[in-house]
Structure 1
Amino acid sequence: MPAYALALAVLVIAPLLAPGYLLLRDAVSTPRSYLSDAALGLSDAAPRALPQDFAVAVVSQVVDGGIVVKALLVAGLWLAGWGCARLAAVVVPDAGMPGQFVAATLAIWNPYVAERLLQGHWSLLVGYGCLPWVAATVLQLRLVGDAPLWPRVCALALWTALAGLTPTGLMLAATVAVVCSVTPGSGRPRGVCAGIALGLAVVAALPWLVAAGVSQSLSSSQAEGVRAFAARAEPGLGTLGSLASLGGIWNGEAVPASRTTLFVVVAAVVLLGVVAVGVPVAMRRPLAVPLLVLAVVAVVVPAAMATAPGLAVVESAVRAFPGIGVVRDGQKWVALAVPGYTVAAAAAVVTLRRWLPAFVTATVCSLALIATLPDLAWGVGGKVVAVHYPPGWAAAAAAINADPRPVAVLPTGSMRHFPWAGDAPVLDPLPRWVRAEVLTTGDLVISGRLVPGEGGRARSVEGLLTAGADPHELARAGVGWLLVQSGDDLSLTRIGGDYPAAAHRGLMLTVHWVWVAMLAGGLAGMVVARARRPVK
Structure 2
Amino acid sequence: MPAYALALTLLVTGPLLRPGYLLLRDAVSTPRSYLTDAALGLTEAAPRALPQDFAVAVASHVVDGGVVVKLLLIAGLWAAAWGAARLVDVVVPAAGVPGQFVAATVAGWNPYVAERLLQGHWSLLVGYGALPWVAVAVLRLRDGRGHPWALLFWIAAAGLTPTGLMLAAVVAVVTCAGPGSGWSRWRCAAWSLGAAVLGALPWLVAPLLAGSLRMSEVAGVPQFAARAEPGLGTLLSLAGLGGIWNGQAVPASRTTAFAVVATVVLLGIVALGLPAALRWPAARPLLVLAAVAVIAPALMATGPGLAAVEALTRAVPGLGVLRDGQKWVALALPGYAVAGASIVVVLRRRVPGIATAAVCSLALLAVLPDLAWGVGCRVTSVSYPAGWTAAAALIDADPRPVAVLPGASMRHFSWAGPAPVLDPLPRWVAADVLTTGDLVIGGQVVPGEGRRARDVERLVGSGAGVDELAAAGVGWVVVEGRDAPRLGLPVALAEDDLVVYRVGGDHRGAPHRGVMIAAHLAWLAALVAGAAGTIATAVTRRRRGAV
Letter in 2 for 1:21: Y
What one-letter code is carried by the residue in structure 2 that aligns with 1:521?
A: A
Pairing of 1:190-269 with structure 2 (within 5 A): 190-269=185-264
Q: Which amino acid aligns with 2:427?
A: R
Distance 1:115 1:470 in 2: 44
- One-letter code of the match for 2:508? P
Aligned to 1:38: 38
Aligned mates of 1:160, 1:321 — CA distance in 2: 24
Q: Which of the residues 480, 491, 496 maps onto 2:499?
A: 491
Residue of structure 2 in register with 1:315 after alignment: 310
Query: Deviation at 1:133?
Result: 0.3
Other-structure match for 2:509? 501
State the alpha-carbon separation in 2 of the partners of residues 286 and 497 from structure 1: 64
Three-state SS of the structure 2 residue aligned to 1:288 is helix
1:528 aligns with 2:536: yes
Offset, 1:474: 1.2
Counterpart check, 1:464 vs 2:463: no
Confirm or deny that 1:511 pairs with 2:506. no
Distance 1:137 1:4 in 2: 22
Aligned match of 2:12: 12
Structure 2 matches for 1:77-226, cutoff 5 A? 77-144=77-144, 147=145, 152-226=147-221
Partner of 2:2: 2
Structure 2 residue aligned with 1:336: 331
* Alpha-carbon shift at residue 462 of structure 1 (Å): 1.2
1:437 corresponding residue in structure 2: 432
Note if contact 2:271-2:339 (Cα within 8 Å) is conserved in structure 1. yes
Letter in 2 for 1:10: L
**How do residues 273-422 of structure 1 correspond to structure 2 at under 5 angstroms?**
273-422=268-417
2:26 paired residue number: 26
- Structure 1 counterpart of 2:538, which letter? R
Cα offset, 1:471, TM superposition:
2.1
Letter of the aligned partner of 1:205 in structure 2?
A: A
Contact 1:221 1:318 in 2 (8 A): no
SS for the counterpart of 2:349 is coil
CA distance in 2, matches of 1:468, 1:271: 57
SS of the aligned residue for 1:211 comes to helix
Distance 1:220 1:396 in 2: 35
Distance 2:448 2:347 in 1: 51
1:482 match: secondary structure: strand
**Deviation at 1:478?**
0.8
Aligned-partner Cα distance in 2 for 1:495–1:100: 60
Identity among equivalent pairs (%): 69
Q: Deviations over 1:399-426 (max 9, x none)?
A: 1111111101122211100000000000
1:83-136, Cα deviation, whole Å (9 max, x unpaired) = 000000001000000000000011000000000000000000000000000001
In 2, the alpha carbon distance for the partners of 1:506 and 1:119 equals 33
Q: Deviations over 1:14-73 (max 9, x none)?
A: 011100000000000000000111001111111000000000000100100000000000
Q: CA deviation at 1:464?
A: 1.2
- The question of 1:67 aligning with 2:62 is answered no
Give 1:270's aligned amino acid. V
- The separation in 1 between residues aligned to 2:135 and 2:151, in whole angstroms, is 9
Match of 2:486 in 1: none
CA distance in structure 2 between the partners assigned to 1:102 and 1:438 by the alignment: 46
Unaligned runs of 5+ in 2: 483-495
Output the amino acid matched with 1:218: L
Task: Count how many residue pairs are aligned between Structure 1 and Structure 2.
Answer: 531
* CA displacement at 1:186 relative to structure 2: 1.5
Return the TM-score normalized by structure 1.
Answer: 0.98
Root-mean-square deviation (CA, aligned residues, Å) is 0.9
Structure 1 unaligned regions, length at least 5:
none
Q: Which is worse superposed, 226-235 or 457-466?
A: 457-466
Cα separation, 2, equivalents of 1:313 and 1:523? 40
Correspondence for 2:473: 478
* 1:381 maps to amino acid: G
Counterpart residue identity of residue 110, structure 1: N
2:198 partner SS: helix
Instruction: Check the 8 A contact 1:439/1:458 in 2, yes or no.
Output: yes
Worse-superposed segment, 109-118 or 209-218: 209-218
Matched residues in 2 for 1:459 and 1:95: separation?
57
Letter in 2 for 1:374: P
Following the alignment from structure 2 to structure 1, what is the Cα–Cα distance between the partners of residues 264 and 254? 13
Q: Counterpart amino acid of 2:134?
A: V
| Alignment check: 8 A CA contact 1:221 1:319 kept | no
Q: CA deviation at 1:491?
A: 1.0
1:194-214 CA distance string (max 9 Å, x none)? 000000000000011011110
Report how far residue 320 of structure 1 moved: 1.4
- TM score, norm. by length of structure 2: 0.96
> 2:489 maps to which residue?
none
8 Å Cα contact 2:409/2:423 also seen in 1: yes
Is contact 2:215–2:313 with CA below 8 Å preserved after alignment? Answer: no
Partner residue in 1 for 2:485 = none
Contact kept in structure 2, 1:409 and 1:485, CA below 8 Å: yes
- Amino acid aligned to 2:515: L
Per the TM alignment, residue 468 of structure 1 is displaced from its structure 2 partner at its CA by 2.3
Aligned 8 A contact 2:12 2:374 in 1: yes
Distance 1:45 1:231 in 2: 24
Give secondary structure in 1 for the equivalent of 2:44: coil
Partners in 2 of 1:242 and 1:464 — Cα distance? 45
TM-superposed CA distance for 1:430, in Å, is: 0.2
Distance 1:526 1:74 in 2: 21
* SS class of match (2:545): coil
3-state SS, counterpart of residue 221 of structure 1: helix
8 Å contact from structure 1 (residues 158, 520) kept in 2: yes
Secondary structure of 1:225's partner? coil
